[in-house]
Amino acid sequence: MKVHEPVPGGPCWVELGTSDPEAARRFYTELFGWRCETDPRPEAGGHTLARLGEAAVAAVTRLYAAGQPVAWSVSFAVPDADAALRQVTAAGGAVRQGPVDVLDSGRFAVAEDPTGAVFQLWQAGAFPGAGVFNAPGSLGWVELLTREPGRAEDFYTTVFGWTVTGDAGYPQWGVGGADFGGLVAMDEKFPHEVPAHWLPYFAVADVDTAADDTTGGGGTVLMAPTSLPEGPRIAVLRDPQGAMFGVYRAGDEP
């Protein structure tokens, strides 16, 4: 993506909620080369920060609510989480959680768009978000998959002021002229039980190796490594606990 640091309206962070944080830390450390640090404070709830070198790139947390799915969540930076939530509801979305203060790090909320996709809002305090994008092992693209693309476009352009570029087959989201994600219209190939969702893509040095390492670590390849026409080489994977994520070859950012 053409975003290289957290900017208002853009993706700033990804967080994995999982049924087995310890196993997830092992899996992603082997896959991406992360260095994981678990916050020892009781009030942090076992929150784990993943780093590449000194740069924070993602978080791993336990599941906090009954019925919460094992999944990656994408956070978008906002200057005021409370005001952003008011925009969410005015545009037809819903509030799932918050807003709440996260120690001195920032202010956080969980929202749902009108098509059912869940996302997060982050108002930075001491913690601005990811310290690096697009490098191997870090976030490089986010994708919304939904059965109601028109409704989703109306919602996100209203709430965040995003631009929509590209052709009708794969519209791309942008902020300040910098594209950071895409929109996939879910069709009959997607099982009915799969809800609308945001899917993060991580950069890797070699997509085929990442797919092999995923299966070797107990995960699953959902979409085999594929070179898109005039686009990056990508794959869609699932970790051993069931969270889906994508990978693409670093340097091939859309």
- Domains of the chain by residue range: 11-124, 139-249
For 219, the token pair is 């995960």
For 149, the token pair is 């693309």
Strand order in the sheet with 48-52: 35-38, 48-52, 55-62, 11-18, 71-77, 118-124, 106-112, 94-102
Conformation bin of residue 166: beta by default, left when phi > 0, alpha when psi is -120 to 50: left
* Closest residue by Cα to residue 231 from 248, 206, 208, 209: 248
- Compute the distance between CA of residue 240 and CA of residue 18 in angstroms, rounded to an integer: 10
- Type of residue found at 176: G
Judge whether residue 118 has pLDDT over 70.
yes
Which stretch of DSSP H or E encloses residue 123? strand 118-124
In this structure, are residues 142 and 11 in contact, taking their beta carbons and an 8 Å threshold? yes
Q: What is the percent of the chain with per-residue pLDDT over 70, rounded to a whole number? A: 98
pLDDT, averaged across the chain? 94
Topology classification of domain 11-124: 2,3-Dihydroxybiphenyl 1,2-Dioxygenase; domain 1 (3.10.180)
- Compute the distance between CA of residue 128 and CA of residue 54 in angstroms, rounded to an integer: 14
pLDDT score of 254: 63
For the segment 195-205, the average pLDDT, to the nearest whole number, is 97
- Comparing 251 with 214, which gets the higher pLDDT? 214
Residues 3-12 have pLDDT tens digits of 999 999 999 9
For the segment 13-42, the average pLDDT, to the nearest whole number, is 92
pTM of the model: 0.95
The CATH number of the domain covering residues in 139-249: 3.10.180.10
pLDDT score of 43: 63
Q: Do the domains 11-124 and 139-249 sit in the same CATH topology, yes or no?
A: yes
For the segment 132-136, the average pLDDT, to the nearest whole number, is 97
